[in-house]
Amino acid sequence: MALVQIVEPDRQPDPSQPRLAVGIDLGTTNSLVATVRDGQPTPLADAAGRFALASAVRYQKCGGVSVGRDAKQCASCDPFNCILSVKRLIGRGVDDVRQLGQQMPYRFRTGDSKMPMIETVQGAKSPVEVSAEILKVLRERGEQALGGELFGAVITVPAYFDDAQRQATKDAAKLAGIRVLRLLNEPTAAAVAYGLDRQAEGVIVVYDLGGGTFDVSILRLTRGVFEVLSTGGDSALGGDDLDHAVADWIVEQSGCGTDLSPAQQRTLLRVACDLKEALSGQTVVEAHYGDWSGELTRAAFDALIEPLVARSLRACRRAVRDAGIEKEDISAVVMVGGSTRVPLVREHVAAQFECQPLTDIDPDKVVALGAAIQADILAGNRSGNTDLLLLDVNPLSLGLETMGELVEKIIPRNTTIPVSRTQDFTTARDGQTAMALHVVQGERELVRYCRSLARFELRGIPPMVAGAAKIRVTFQVDADGLLSVSAKETRSGVETHVEVKPSYGLSDEAVSRMLEESLAHAEDDRKARGLREQQVNAERLLETVRVALDADGDLLNSQERAAVDEQLALLREAAAGNDQAAIARQVQKVNQATHEFASRRMDATVRRAFAGRQLDEI
């Protein structure tokens, strides 16, 4: 009879036994799982020896679900039930998804939480459910290879994933039975793999062109500390877009027309992808689609994709500016993602940064390997956990709406996370007992140009004069990039908070647009903010003087009152206009016109306070 060891509740498992942890690269086109064995990160293969798992899920009539290569091969014959590139859908709203309609031939409907649902033979499936099927297979592969239940996993996400997309990824992992140790930005994971392997120090650029997204990160590596200086990219750009460029060329050359069925579209994209991959090693390839045949040269292919590569380089230049470095400071460029095998991509990146990119580690595996290293650390398998410190950043600024529809940035973009920032605010009106807080995300100065994340209220503020209450607002972003906001009135102790978990994410196009517009409209925003601040000052001054006149207007004679009223009327007129300097001048004139009135009020207040009291009492 075999003996089974029982661990008593007050006894810990043998600390010499490592916890089973893996790193997962949940990709748009392919996904991988890796672990650390004998101190080295290693990708895990399936029974057939394949490391990459196609990020494809097929729902079958019989109730079965297939994931991976078999599902991908059925995309042409069963396009509505074979879900590809689901990563482009996760955490996004229905309107965002419909913009991808031509690229994704699925039947969508709106779910209860505004999440897009994909109609299949097994009913409507959310992107979270589809992603969970992929993660289940990766979890099972990890458990079979390691011989036990996983302690947890580090899952990578694009640097541009917002709160909703990150939360949806964690939800998918939970549905797949995976404990998430951390969400890790994909470029940072690549830096981990290269940094520990080479003991590199200096400034490194991570150029990550995956199947559905492009990310670039600037990192400073110093003695095991990975600090992300800036992130950028184009999250509507990836290998899929290169395929579509080739597919459009095939349609044009073959004359087959653009009115293709979903099955024809899938076949066309598969042919385009095969041509793209073949041209990484050849200068000319034969192209066949239906009854048409032709040749595609590498030169012609380069011309088709050059505008897409140029888009990625623009994002690179912007990231370098955001990092506050010069091109000469860059010591290495790391290439990540299968699309970086395209010769034109490598040539343009080398020319852009004036150095030969690093491609020693398989670009398809490097992210999973970096995630495995971080998972090994977080699982406690490395003594002291001092081997590595990761300092990621938040990709967009987070702030609050203030009076005048202005944005007060609490956590600027590219701030190292995890982070907690606190700022004090106050009430705008006498007797105010509640405050509405509007959390926004973006780079512009006015609320209407930013994205609304959440609204909540702080109630129970003791009634005081305007400006006397002290509302302490705290923003916290955790290591996964998820935000929580709390507000507390410091005198009474009343407090409220909100966890920002929107039901759908910011569209990829919107992320890029917000960053571009913040640069293009920087001067306009500065002027607009200055104008609104002057208008707010004017409104507050008008309100303050009105309250004072209602209370003590009898301290002025009719002529003095008329002079004050005239200046107030001129201020109202100026505040309604767009001349910032004119408002400022009129504010000064109102202050001058009410100076004597303020002095008399002060004297009257002092007399009332001292009336009937003896000197020794005072």
In this predicted model, what pLDDT tens digit does every residue of 497-515 receive, in sequence order?
776 654 344 444 554 555 5
* Per-residue pLDDT reduced to its tens digit, 98-128: 655 555 667 777 765 567 788 888 888 888 8
Query: How many CB atoms are closer than 10 A to CB 409?
Result: 19
Sort strands 330-336 and 202-209 into parallel, antiparallel or unpaired.
parallel
Average pLDDT over residues 152-178: 87
List, in order, residues 6 or more apart from 401 with CB less than 8 Å away.
Answer: 407, 408, 437, 438, 440, 447
Distance, CA of 194 to CA of 359 (rounded, Å): 10
Give me the pLDDT at residue 350, please.
94
Domain with CATH 3.30.420.40 in the chain: 21-238+304-392
pLDDT for the residue 93: 73
Beta strands in 44-151 (DSSP E): 53-54, 56-59, 65-67, 82-84, 108-110, 116-120, 123-125
Share of the chain above pLDDT 90, in %: 22
523-610: CATH, from 3.10.129.10, 1.10.10.10, 1.20.1270.10, 1.10.150.120: 1.20.1270.10
Flag whether pLDDT at 293 surpasses 60: yes
At 132, the pLDDT band (50, 70, 90 cuts) reads very high
- Judged by average pLDDT, the poorest of 156-170, 350-364, 499-513, 524-538 is 499-513
Q: What is the pLDDT of residues 53-83, one digit of tens each?
A: 999 999 988 888 999 888 888 877 888 888 8
Q: How does residue 387 score in pLDDT terms, banded at 50, 70 and 90? A: very low
Give the separation between CA 467 and CA 543, rounded to whole angstroms: 13
Mean pLDDT of 478-489: 80
Taking only the tens place, the pLDDT of each residue in 408-445 is 888 887 677 778 888 888 887 788 888 888 888 888 88
- CA separation for the pair 121, 17 (Å, rounded): 45
Span 10-60, pLDDT tens digits: 334 454 567 899 999 999 889 999 999 888 899 999 988 999 999 999 998
The band of 5, judged by pLDDT with boundaries at 50, 70 and 90, is very low
In the chain, % of residues over pLDDT 70:
83
The predicted structure's pLDDT at residue 38 = 84
Assess if CATH 1.10.10.10 describes domain 21-238+304-392.
no
Give the per-residue pLDDT at 58. Answer: 92
Is residue 1 scored above 50 in pLDDT?
no
What are the catalytic residues? 25, 87, 186, 208
Range(s) of the chain covered by CATH 1.20.1270.10: 523-610
pLDDT for 229 equals: 83
Name the pairing type of β-strands 419-425 and 471-477.
Answer: antiparallel
Pick left, alpha or beta for residue 88 (phi over 0 → left; psi -120 to 50 → alpha; otherwise beta): alpha
586: number of CA atoms within 13 Å, CB side? 26
Distance CA 3, CA 384 (A): 34
CATH number belonging to domain 239-303: 3.90.640.10
Q: What is the mean pLDDT of the chain?
A: 81
More confident residue, 276 or 18: 276
Q: Is the pLDDT of residue 137 over 90?
A: yes
pLDDT band for position 131 (50/70/90)? very high
Tell me how far apart the alpha carbons of residues 82 and 104 are, in angstroms, rounded to a whole number. 11
What angle separates helix 298-323 from helix 239-254, to the nearest 10 degrees? 150
Region(s) of the chain under CATH 3.90.640.10: 239-303
- Burial environment of residue 17 by CB neighbours within 10 A (0 to 12, 13 to 18, 19 or more): exposed
Q: What is the mean pLDDT of residues 368-374?
A: 92
Q: 111-140 burial, b if ≥16 CB within 10 A, otherwise e?
A: eeeebbbbebeeeebbbbbbbbbbbbbbbe
Confirm if 378 and 151 have CB atoms less than 8 A apart: no
**Is 339 strand, coil or helix?**
helix
What number does CATH give the domain 394-519? 2.60.34.10
What was the pLDDT predicted at 286? 92
At residue 345, the pLDDT reads 94
pTM, rounded to two decimals: 0.60
How far apart are alpha carbons 62 and 120 in whole angstroms?
Answer: 12
